[in-house]
A = this chain, B = another copy of it.
Amino acid sequence: MRVVVIGAGILGSSVAYHLAMNGIEVEIIDEVHQGKATLAGAGIVSPWATKVTDPEWYKLYGAGARYYAELVEGLTRRGETDLGYGRVGALVVAEDRNELNAAEQRIQSRIVDAPEAGDVRRVSAKEAKQLFPPLRDDLDGIYIPGGARVDGRLLAAAMTRAAVAMGATLRHDHVSLDLQDGRVRCIDSNGSLIEADEVVVTAGAWASQILRPLGLEHPVRPQRGQIVHLRLAGVETRSWPVLLPMTSHYMLAFDDSRVVIGATREDNTGFDYRVTASGQAEVLNAGLAIAPGLATGTIIETRIGFRPAGDSFKPILGRVAGLDGLIIGNGLGASGLSIGPYAGRLLSQICMGEKPEIDTAPYAPASA
């Protein structure tokens, strides 16, 4: 069997990694787009505090978090060291104590089935500031030891590299799909056919355009996120928890004295790859309001990502009924880095004709 994976973001690189691990011949085709969500995104692995209530979605979110331990172990065993992954805990804070109490209840009810969340506890404002030093000094919080962060750019590169080490090939090109006799065909930029028994489209926000020639109206749109990276020179940030202020703006730290503030959620901007004055101001103002200690941090970069946002919050994973040889993974939105690696594994199981380890029927794409 020969599988072509279109898109080497967090989802596609995971599909390729899991297929290659099973001895399947894989070609990864990754277009050089600006604004890939995986490369821009800071990965928060902490499903327990989410406000989203759809049980199917949460099921995948929780399983995605749980899978990280196995994933990291597997990659490390294969020699990959540089994943930007750290089980540093998550710290939930809120301006409004009622909101914090509600969050605590939500978390407590969820971790009953999630021992990996660790011993969740309320922390005082003082403790919170010890955990995340740039924080305001008046916010108490909830600390979830099992929370983790991951650098999407590094993790996807590591999975791709591991796939290549196991025999996969990688090409940078812009491909298009068409149909012949009910089967999907894949054509490269030189007009040559690329042989494939299965085509897995994990093209994120670009998927709708790739799928349209097949007659599919795929319901995913680009949602722009602007995310600011700060350096705190000389400061040990490695162990700081992910900071979740119960708004759409979060903060997290990486090993290299770096703190990330994210992110705008801009719909209807299309693929307009730009850092805007208002977007940058929004993110900085939100971050400094919660963590004034970041004021003197150095802005080293603002990343732009187009999240693949669907009509609902539910991911789209599986075969397209009525078309031969097409599998889609998409719609993870802002949770891509949490769910992506696990969802990629499920897609690899579907691709190999196995029953996926959790039922993916609720996430099936619309039929052709």
Residues 188-236 (chain A) with a chain B CB within 8 angstroms? 188-191, 205-206, 208-209, 212-213, 217, 219, 221-222, 228, 230, 233-236
Provide the bound-state CA to CA distance between A257 and B295, in Å: 30
Judge whether A285 and B285 touch: CB under 8 Å: yes
Provide the bound-state CA to CA distance between A209 and B212, in Å: 12
Nearest CB of B to A261, in Å: 8
Q: Check A278/B255 contact, CB under 8 A, given A174-B206, A212-B178.
A: no
Nearest CB of B to A180, in Å: 12
Q: Check A298/B281 contact, CB under 8 A, given A190-B268, A236-B79, A236-B161.
A: no
Residues of B within 8 A of A297 (CB): 276-277
Judge whether B256 and A79 touch: CB under 8 Å: no
Judge whether B270 and A174 touch: CB under 8 Å: yes
Provide the bound-state CA to CA distance between A357 and B362, in Å: 60
Number of interface residues of A (CB under 8 A): 70
* A121 interfacial contact with B, CB 8 Å: no
Q: Check A278/B295 contact, CB under 8 A, given A209-B189, A236-B164, A271-B31.
A: yes
Q: Check A212/B278 contact, CB under 8 A, given A160-B234, A170-B233, A234-B161.
A: no
Judge whether B222 and A82 touch: CB under 8 Å: no
Judge whether B217 and A271 touch: CB under 8 Å: no
* A172 interfacial contact with B, CB 8 Å: yes
B160, B222, B288: the one within 8 Å of A189 (CB) = B222
* A76 interfacial contact with B, CB 8 Å: no
Q: Among A35, A157, A281, find the residue whose CB has the most chain B CB atoms closer than 10 A.
A: A281
B31, B239, B288: the one within 8 Å of A278 (CB) = B288
* A-B complex: 4 closest residue pairs judged by Cβ atoms: A173-B270, A213-B213, A278-B295, A164-B234
A residues adjacent to B (C-beta < 8 A): 31-32, 34-35, 79, 81-82, 154, 157, 160-161, 164-165, 170-176, 178, 187-191, 205-206, 208-209, 212-213, 217, 219, 221-222, 228, 230, 233-236, 238-239, 255-257, 268, 270-278, 280-281, 284-285, 287-288, 294-299, 302
> What are 14 A-B contacts with C-beta separation under 8 Å?
A32-B35, A154-B256, A157-B256, A160-B234, A172-B270, A173-B271, A174-B206, A178-B212, A189-B208, A228-B277, A274-B299, A276-B295, A276-B296, A277-B299
